[in-house]
Every structure is written in structure tokens, then in C-alpha cells.
């Protein structure tokens, strides 16, 4: 971190792939054993399943791991760009994000809101298309998620959190140009962390807010 100009030119961190695997596997195990949507039969009552459940119930921390990795990569690349060019090309950054994330995200949203209800045994969602269209699906999940039977739309919540983070980060850098200097960036990030910790304390009794809200993750 002391000399970001020495980072690989392809901006890849291959040594983080192992952590990505751990995060993905943890989330997979969590969804497989703990959401009570699977049909395991008598396996539910065995001591072996109970032991697996104790381990699998911690799997959702894999999502937090992905958030940490994503934040680390984005901030590191941003600091690298600052060291090399003394500026941040916001347009190029968002262009890369749009090409990488938006097609898959909106394909799922279109399928969930417009196509799935027309299929045999399809169901309509109670989620708001407006919130999903502007990457606020995590907040909509807090408000109406428990009432919605179309559970596959829930997976978009983490994408919304990341998009909000990137947008807010660069809006602040655009409004307050002095924050583009490295010493001020770290102060800004520390302030964000402290704000989020206070938010978690104030909402500690609301499990869905703690799990889905942008300020708590």
C-alpha cells in the first residue's frame, strides 16, 4: 500500500481468489441448510443435521466477506489511479461497473417482474419495480421482503448495497474535491465506518435492518 504504482498492470489480485471461494461456499452452504425451504425429510431430526446447521448458520458472513473484498479492491484501485495520474476518472469507473453488473442485474429484475408471473405456476411479486430500478432493492427487502413469495429477487440486495456505496463514494469525491487527496480519503472512510457502527447500535434490535441496510453492512 505504500507504493501503489507497483501494483500489477492488469489490476488483478489473484491471491484473493481463495477468499472469494470461501465466501461463495459459505453462502451456498447457508442457503442449502438453513432457510427451511428445502425438503430433507427425517434428516432434519438427526444430530448430524443439527451439527451441520450450527456451522451453516454462520455462512451468511460470506456476504460480508464479499463486501470487504469489493471495498478493498475498489479503494485500492482508486488510490492507485490517484498515485499515477493525480485524479480519478469517474466516467471510466462507472462505465466498467455498468458493463459488468447492470446487464445481469436488470435481466433478473425483468424476469422477476414481467416474465415469471406469466409462466405456469408463476407468481407476482409485491416488491417495487421503482426501487429495484434504482438499486434500492435492499431497502425494499426490509419493508416488504417477508410478505413476498418471489424469493429469488432477494438476491439482488447485495448488488444494490455495492452500487449505493460506489455512487455515494464518487458523489462525495465530486462535491468535495479535496477528499481526493489520500490523507483526506482515509479520514472520510473512517468517518463512514464510525457512522455505520453508530447506525448498527441504534438499530441492534431490528434483525432485517442489521442484515440488509446499506449503513449496517
The count of other CB atoms within 10 Å of the CB of residue 122 is 11
CA atoms within 13 A on the CB side of 160: 24
pLDDT for 179: 76
Burial bucket for residue 92 (CB in 10 Å: 0-12, 13-18, 19+): exposed
Whether residue 180 contacts residue 87, with contact meaning beta carbons closer than 8 Å, is answered with yes
pLDDT for 9: 46
What's the DSSP call for residue 4?
G
pLDDT one-digit tens code per residue, 83-129: 788 777 778 878 888 898 999 999 999 999 999 999 998 999 999 99
The 3-state DSSP composition of the chain as helix, strand, coil percent (nearest 5) reads: 75, 0, 25
pLDDT for 214: 95
pLDDT for 2: 55
The count of other CB atoms within 10 Å of the CB of residue 42 is 7
pLDDT for 168: 85
pLDDT for 47: 85
* Distance from C-alpha of 185 to C-alpha of 176, rounded to nearest angstrom: 11
pTM of the model as a whole: 0.83
Average pLDDT for runs of 10 along the chain of length 217: 52 82 91 70 78 85 92 84 78 84 95 95 94 97 91 92 88 77 80 94 96 94
Cα torsion through 52, 214, 74, 129, rounded to 10:
100
Amino acid at each position: 500500500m505504500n507504493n501503489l504504482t507497483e501494483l500489477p498492470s492488469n489490476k488483478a489480485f489473484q491471491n484473493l481468489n481463495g477468499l472469494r471461494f470461501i465466501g461463495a461456499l459459505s453462502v451456498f452452504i447457508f442457503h442449502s441448510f438453513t432457510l427451511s425451504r428445502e425438503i430433507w425429510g427425517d434428516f432434519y431430526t438427526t444430530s448430524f443435521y443439527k451439527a451441520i446447521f450450527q456451522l451453516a448458520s454462520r455462512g451468511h458472513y460470506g456476504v460480508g466477506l464479499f463486501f470487504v473484498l469489493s471495498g478493498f479492491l475498489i479503494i485500492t484501485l482508486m488510490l492507485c489511479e490517484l498515485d499515477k495520474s493525480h485524479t480519478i476518472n469517474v466516467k471510466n469507473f462507472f462505465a466498467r461497473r455498468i458493463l459488468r453488473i447492470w446487464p445481469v442485474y436488470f435481466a433478473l429484475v425483468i424476469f422477476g417482474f414481467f416474465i415469471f408471473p406469466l409462466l405456469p405456476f408463476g407468481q407476482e411479486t409485491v416488491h417495487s419495480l421503482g426501487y429495484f430500478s434504482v438499486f434500492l432493492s435492499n431497502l425494499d427487502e426490509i419493508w416488504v421482503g417477508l410478505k413476498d413469495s418471489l424469493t429469488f429477487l432477494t438476491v439482488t440486495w447485495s448488488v444494490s448495497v455495492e452500487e449505493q456505496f460506489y455512487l455515494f463514494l464518487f458523489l462525495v469525491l465530486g462535491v468535495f474535491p479535496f477528499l481526493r487527496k489520500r490523507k483526506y480519503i482515509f479520514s472520510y472512510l473512517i468517518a463512514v465506518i464510525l457512522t455505520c457502527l453508530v447506525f448498527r447500535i441504534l438499530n441492534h434490535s431490528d434483525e432485517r435492518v442489521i442484515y440488509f441496510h446499506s449503513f449496517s453492512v
